[in-house]
């Protein structure tokens, strides 16, 4: 029973997060106060939303390196819309950001689906193109807090039953993604395509189209995150969230989502993001320079992927032992 529980990745992750929190609490008990934990969750919300989108893409054996650039472009467009038309209702701006994000995701998806270009090449390319487009749009200028309307900046902070809207939104996305992954044909198709593309074809699933939808999903979520990021930090410029794509992938890898596709869960992605979020928020508390964060996420990625590989090793019959050793 216990052995079985220990093999469950989500439970292992919960244990890891709890141990991490306990270690921090040993010296700084205030860190684990419910109020502070809620703040840590709120601070991780955007990463959670992005990790959910990346999870869908990775499940289908693809990868989306352009998510952070997509976020930056959509965030910039949202900020520009708000600066140009301060009267525009905020929900409309959010919808516009999500639509643009979805469109950018469709570009990735089309290139992967229709042209069969390897996902890593497509998204490496679109990553630079999206960032460059922001520069072309703005000429390198910043959009600062005073150019944004109050309502634009206030929404993520708005208090609903003691919890900010930002946290509510990420919780909503977690629920939506949980339903999509477990209760819809599309969610099951993500797993099928990643688990065995050939078998997926024989069961009548269009592999390319499923991947296309995964990219649309990750793009839309990146668009939503774009608005959230820009309104939360009240500034938009070319380099916002630069390098954040690595944090997103790190969250997924830590969450046990196999880069080879087909394995992973919503709970894993959320826990992986929370693991990184706790580390990020704890660093200043335990007096480690924030510059160390990058090296720590790198190390955690490597450890996580090594652990994943162990867990996923096939337990089938070994026919040629020597071949297996490589």
Query: Which residues make up the interface to other proteins (CB under 8 A)?
Result: 61, 63, 111, 115-118, 120-122, 124-129, 131-133, 135-136, 140, 197-198, 201, 207, 238, 246, 249-250, 253, 259-261, 289, 291-299, 301-302, 305-306, 309, 323, 326
Q: Between residues 98 and 253, which has the closer beta carbon with respect to other proteins?
A: 253
Q: Least CB distance from residue 259 to other proteins, whole Å?
A: 5
Output 46 or 301, the one with its CB closest to other proteins: 301
CB of 319 to other proteins, least distance (A): 12
Cβ closer to other proteins: 53 or 262? 262
Quote the least distance from Cβ 264 to other proteins, whole Å.
13
What tokens appear for 85 in the block?
């038309």
Q: Minimum CB separation from other proteins for residue 64, in Å?
A: 13
Choose between 95 and 124: whose C-beta lies nearer to other proteins.
124
Which of left, alpha, beta for 60 (phi over 0: left; psi -120 to 50: alpha)?
A: alpha
Buried/exposed code over 234-268 (b: 16+ C-beta within 10 A; e: otherwise): ebbbbebbeebbebbbbbbbbbbbbeebbbbbbbb
Residue 163 or 206 with smaller CB distance to other proteins: 206
Are 130 and 219 in contact by the 8 Å Cβ rule? The answer is no
- Shortest Cβ 61–other proteins spacing (Å): 6
- For other proteins, the closer of residues 94 and 300 by Cβ is 300
Helix axes 34-59, 185-195, angle to 10 degrees: 60
Q: Is 131:238 a contact under the CB 8 Å cutoff? A: yes
Map residue 258 onto helix, strand or coil: coil
Please state, in angstroms and rounded to a whole number, the distance separating the CA atoms of residues 266 and 190: 13
Contact 64, 218 (CB under 8 A): yes
Q: Which helix (H) or strand (E) holds 147?
A: none
Closest contact distance (angstroms) between CB of 262 and other proteins is: 11
């Amino acid at each position: 029973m216990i052995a079985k529980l220990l093999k469950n990745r989500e439970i292992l992750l919960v244990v890891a997060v709890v141990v991490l929190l306990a270690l921090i609490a040993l010296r700084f008990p205030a860190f684990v106060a419910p109020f502070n934990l809620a703040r840590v969750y709120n601070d991780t919300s955007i990463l959670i939303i992005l990790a959910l989108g990346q999870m869908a893409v990775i499940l289908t054996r693809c990868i989306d390196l352009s998510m952070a650039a997509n976020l930056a472009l959509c965030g910039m467009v949202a900020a520009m819309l708000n600066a140009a038309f301060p009267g525009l209702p905020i929900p409309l701006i959010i919808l516009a950001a999500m639509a643009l994000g979805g469109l950018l995701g469709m570009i990735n998806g089309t290139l992967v689906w229709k042209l069969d270009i390897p996902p890593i090449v497509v998204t490496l390319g679109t990553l630079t193109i999206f960032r460059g487009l922001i520069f072309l749009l703005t000429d390198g200028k910043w959009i600062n807090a005073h150019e944004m309307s109050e309502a634009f900046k206030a929404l993520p902070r708005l208090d609903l039953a003691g919890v900010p809207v930002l946290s509510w939104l990420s919780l909503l996305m977690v629920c939506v993604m949980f339903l999509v992954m477990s209760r819809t044909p599309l969610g099951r198709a993500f797993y099928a395509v990643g688990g065995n593309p050939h078998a997926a074809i024989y069961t009548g699933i269009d592999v390319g189209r499923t991947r296309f939808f995964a990219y649309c999903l990750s793009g839309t979520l990146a668009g939503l995150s774009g608005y959230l990021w820009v309104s939360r930090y009240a500034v938009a410029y070319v380099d916002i969230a630069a390098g954040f794509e690595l944090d997103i992938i790190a969250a997924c890898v830590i969450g046990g989502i196999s880069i080879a596709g087909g394995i992973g869960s919503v709970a894993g992605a959320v826990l992986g993001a929370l693991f990184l979020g706790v580390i990020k928020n704890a660093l200043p508390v335990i007096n480690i320079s924030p510059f160390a964060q990058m090296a720590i996420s790198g190390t955690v990625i490597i450890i996580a992927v090594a652990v994943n590989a162990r867990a996923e090793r096939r337990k089938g019959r070994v026919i040629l032992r020597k071949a297996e050793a490589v």
